[in-house]
Amino acid sequence: MPIESYREVEPAPVTMAGAKDVTMRVVIGPKQGAPNFVMRVFEMQPGGHSPRHRHDYEHEIFVHRGTGEIFCDGKTYPVAPGHYAFIAPNLEHQVLNTGQEPLLFVCLIPNIE
């Protein structure tokens, strides 16, 4: 069982249309031998956001650092360190950094490969 720092994984820019100033590190997934889930760490700069989108799988989000908002199913929710969110399948959603420092959050999704 490897125990590593997320900082050892090179961040990659999120290039999905509508994303702004956000990087992602895939820290656990198929390459690490995880057959069912993928753990990703996102870092979003102030004013940055994910695209507003939907898909047929859930995600679980845990906010580690910074402040922002999660838009989900027509409502906006403030988030801060220690907050978590469950986003059910097929709900339109978006994460936004409304704070003055980077927003760091962990996002889990099923392995859909």
Number of H helices, E strands in the chain: 0, 9
Query: What's the pLDDT tens digit per position in 27-57?
Result: 999 999 999 999 999 999 999 999 999 999 9
**In this structure, what DSSP letter does residue 53 have?**
B
DSSP state of 113: -
Residue spans per domain, the chain: 10-104
| Topology, domain 10-104 | Jelly Rolls (2.60.120)
The yes-or-no verdict on residue 113 having pLDDT over 80 is: no
